Amino acid sequence: MNKSIAVYWRMTRPHTLTASFVPVVVGTAIVAPRIESLRLDLFFAMLIASMLIQIATNLFNEYYDYKRGLDNEESVGIGGSIVRDGFKPGTILAFALSLYGIAALLGIYLCLETTWWLLLVGLVSMFVGYIYTGGPLPIAYTPFGEIVAGFFMGYVIIAISAYLQIGYVPTEAVAISVPVAILIGSILLANNIRDLDNDKVNGRKTIACLVGHRAAVYVLIAFFAAAVISLIVAVVAFNVSWFALLALLSIPLMIKAVKLFWDDLEPQELMPGMAQTGKVNTIFGLLLAISLTFANF
């Protein structure tokens, strides 16, 4: 069945892709002052592979939500391509596996240029991406989704991106990965706040489901506060450039996101809050990357 480019683009859940490209950019930027020139081939291979793995994970979510009966034509959000856009379930699954295949080829190139240990890290990351919504007990159905996503998409991607350029993971990269990981987790939390009622009906036990709407908003506030504090700690205690504090200019965006989630509204009315949380991660990450890149110039 012919589909428009817009439909395919929507199916990738583009507002979430900030969670894969921001860590690559930040991980590269943190080591940029240490080297004479970047390996752009490694940077772009890592960037594309990370985004493909995330898109594939989104597609696995699409496939398994349909199989478990979570998606229907009234579902809120940009998921539900199978029920709304007429995609066959097998097509979605094949698309996801194809993207995994391309990401694996890019991973092999990165291994050839650096170390084969990256193959193990990549395989584990891809496996986690699959079981996030696949398997008998999907991670997304538990209270640990935000933690797992933050760790793999925050710390792991930043560490690999730094390693690709200089051959090791500096302490500064580990320190700066903490606020990035927390903000990536906040994207998942925002999604779960929006989907709270539907998730409870379908047996999910996300943080939002366990604590309820208002308490989940307080958790979101805690996430934002932790991201700010951990950035300051990274600067004060772990030799990260003071220029990195420019990322704190994103605080007004965090406040706006909280305001958009404050009232327990219908899921469709909470969509702007979700988009705003993704914007927080994007602006925070890009300000961080820009400041780190030019810190020593």
Q: What is the pLDDT of residues 197-252, one digit of tens each?
A: 888 887 889 999 999 999 999 999 999 999 999 999 999 999 899 999 999 999 99
User: Which 8-state DSSP code applies to residue 135?
Assistant: S
Q: HSE (CB half, 13 Å, CA atoms) of 144? A: 10
Here the tokens at position 58 are 């989104």
Contact 91, 126 (CB under 8 A): no
For the segment 68-91, the average pLDDT, to the nearest whole number, is: 64
Handedness of CA 282, 48, 17, 28 (dihedral sign): negative
What is the spatial distance between Cα 182 and Cα 177, in angstroms, rounded to a whole number?
9
Confidence band (pLDDT; 50, 70, 90) for 173?
very high
What is the spatial distance between Cα 95 and Cα 203, in angstroms, rounded to a whole number?
28
Domains of the chain: 10-293 (1.10.600)
Here the tokens at position 104 are 């694996």
pLDDT at site 28:
94
Task: Read off the amino acid at residue 24.
Answer: V
Q: Indicate if the pLDDT at residue 21 is higher than 60.
A: yes
Confidence band (pLDDT; 50, 70, 90) for 34?
confident
Who's near 180: CB < 8 A, 6+ residues apart? 22, 23, 26, 154, 158, 281, 284, 285, 288
pLDDT at site 180:
96
CB atoms within 10 A of CB 168: 10
pTM: 0.90
What is the spatial distance between Cα 264 and Cα 248, in angstroms, rounded to a whole number?
28
For the segment 33-58, the average pLDDT, to the nearest whole number, is: 91
Exposure string for 220-258, b = 16+ CB within 10 A, e = fewer: bbebbebbbebbeebbeeeebbebbbebbebeebbebbb
Q: Which helix (H) or strand (E) holds 254?
A: helix 251-262
Q: Note the residue count of the chain.
A: 297
What is the spatial distance between Cα 179 and Cα 199, in angstroms, rounded to a whole number?
27
Percentage of the chain exceeding pLDDT 90 = 63
